[in-house]
Structure 1
Amino acid sequence: MARIRWLTYLMFLMFAMTSESVGVIIPSVIREFHLGMAAGGAFHYATMSGIALGGVLLGSLADRAGRKVTILIGLGLFGISAAMFAWISSFGLFLVLLFIGGIAVGIFKTAALALIGDISTSTRAHTATMNVVEGFFGIGAIIGPAIVAYLLSHDASWKWLYLIAAIFCGLLMIVAWRVPYPQTRAAAPNGAPLADMLAMLHNRYALAFSTGIMLYVGIETAIYVWMPTLLAGYSGPGWRWAVYALSIFFILRVIGRFGGFWLLERYDWTSVMALCGVAILLCFVCAIIGGRPFAVVALPVSGLFMSIIYPTLNSKGISCFPKPQHGAISGVILFFTCVSAVLAPLAMGLIGEYLGDAIYGFYLATAFAAVLAAGLILNRIFDPASAELRRRGDLDYAV
Structure 2
Amino acid sequence: MKSSAADRLFARSAAVASCVGFILIGMLQALYGPAIPGLRHEFGLSPSGAGLGLSLHFTGGVAGVLAFNAIHSRISNRALLAWSYALMAAGGAGFALAPNWPLALTAAFLAGLGFGGIDYGLNQLFAVGFGDRSTAMLNVLNAHFGIGAVLGPAVVAWLGPDDYPYAFGACAALAAVLVFAGSSGVRTRVSDDPPAESPERKGLGLSRVLVGFLVLYILNVAVEAGVGGWEPTHLETVGYTATVAASATSVYWLMMTAGRFLVVPITLRYAPERILAVCAAGMTVCLLLALVKGVAPVAYAGVGLFIAPVFPTGLPWLNKALPQAKRAGAWVIAASMTGGVAAPPLLGVGIEAYGIHAVPWLLTVLSAASLLATVWLIRLTRRSAS
Q: TM-score, normalised by structure 2?
A: 0.85
Who is 2:312 aligned against?
311
CA displacement, residues 271-304 of structure 1 (integer Å, 9 cap, x when unaligned): 322222111111111223x2x4432221122111
Q: 1:126 to 1:178 in 2, by over 3 A?
A: closer
Aligned to 1:15: 25
Distance 1:119 1:270 in 2: 20
Selected match of 1:370 from 368, 371, 374? 368
Q: Does 1:341 align with 2:340?
A: yes
Deviations along 1:8-34, one digit per CA (max 9) or x if unpaired, are 212111101011233322344345545
Tell me the distance in 2 between the aligned counterparts of 1:207 and 1:170.
37
By how many angstroms is 1:386 displaced?
A: 4.7
**Unpaired runs of at least 5, structure 1:** 188-198, 392-399
Question: What residue ranges of structure 2 are gaps of 5+ in the alignment?
Answer: 1-10, 194-202
**1:166 Cα deviation after fit:** 0.8
8 Å CA contact 1:349–1:361 kept in 2: the answer is no
State how 1:158-197 maps to structure 2 within 5 Å. 158-181=164-187, 183-184=189-190
Contact 1:239 1:296 in 2 (8 A): no
Which residue of structure 1 lines up, in the alignment, with residue 135 of structure 2? 127
Q: What CA distance in whole angstroms lies between the structure 2 residues aligned with 1:295 and 1:31?
A: 36
- Which of these residues, 210, 235, 239, is aligned with residue 206 of structure 1? 210
Q: How does 1:220-299 map to 2 (within 5 A)?
A: 220-232=224-236, 235-236=239-240, 241-288=244-291, 290=292, 292-299=293-300
Tell me which amino acid in the other structure corresponds to 2:139. Answer: N
The equivalent of 1:150 in structure 2 is 158
Q: Relative to 1, partners in 2 of residues 1:117 and 1:281: Cα closer, same or farther, differing over 3 Å?
A: closer
Q: 2:6 is matched with which residue?
A: none
Amino acid in the other structure paired with 1:160: Y
- Identity within the alignment, %: 21
Pair 370,356 (structure 1): closer, same or farther in 2 beyond 3 Å: closer
Q: Which amino acid aligns with 1:278?
A: A
CA distance in 2 between counterparts of 1:298 and 1:180 reads: 41
Alignment of 1:341-360 (within 5 A): 341-352=340-351, 354-355=352-353, 357-360=355-358
CA contact (8 A) 1:83 1:166 kept: yes
Note if contact 2:136-2:265 (Cα within 8 Å) is conserved in structure 1: yes
Q: Distance in 1 between matches of 2:253 and 2:328?
A: 27
Per-residue CA shift, 1:13-70, capped at 9, x if unaligned? 1101011233322344345545444333322221111111221233132232110111
Whether the aligned pair in 1 keeps the contact of 2:25 and 2:115 (CA below 8 Å) is yes
Q: Distance in 2 between matches of 1:312 and 1:177?
A: 24
Q: Distance in 1 between matches of 2:365 and 2:70?
A: 34
Q: How many residues align?
A: 367
SS, match of residue 385 in structure 1 = helix
1:385 match: 381
TM-score when normalising by structure 1? 0.83
Specify the code of the residue in structure 1 equivalent to 2:34.
V
Amino acid at match of 1:287: A
Match in the other structure for 1:301: 302
> How far apart are residue 253 of structure 1 and its match?
1.1
Alpha carbons 1:218, 1:340 under 8 Å: kept: yes
Q: 1:6 to 1:201 in 2, by over 3 A?
A: farther
Determine the structure 2 residue equivalent to 1:191: none
RMSD over equivalenced CA pairs, Å:
2.8
Tell whether 2:6 aligns with 1:2.
Answer: no
Q: Distance in 2 between matches of 1:165 and 1:117?
A: 26
1:74-105 residue CA offsets vs partner (Å, 9 max, x unmatched): 11111011111232142222221111111122
Q: Deviations over 1:223-263 (max 9, x none)?
A: 22222232347654x98642411211111111110111111
SS in 2 for 1:60: helix
1:351-394 Cα offsets, whole Å, 9 max, x none, are 32x348433344332210111122334455x3x32577x79xxx
Letter in 2 for 1:372: S
> Given that residues 28 and 152 in structure 2 are in contact (C-alpha distance below 8 angstroms), is that contact kept between their aligned partners in structure 1?
yes
- 82, 95, 113: which one pairs with 1:103? 113
Q: Deviations over 1:164-201 (max 9, x none)?
A: 111111111121353252642599xxxxxxxxxxx999
Q: State the distance in 2 between where 1:375 and 1:77 align.
A: 36
CA distance in 2, matches of 1:48, 1:226: 19
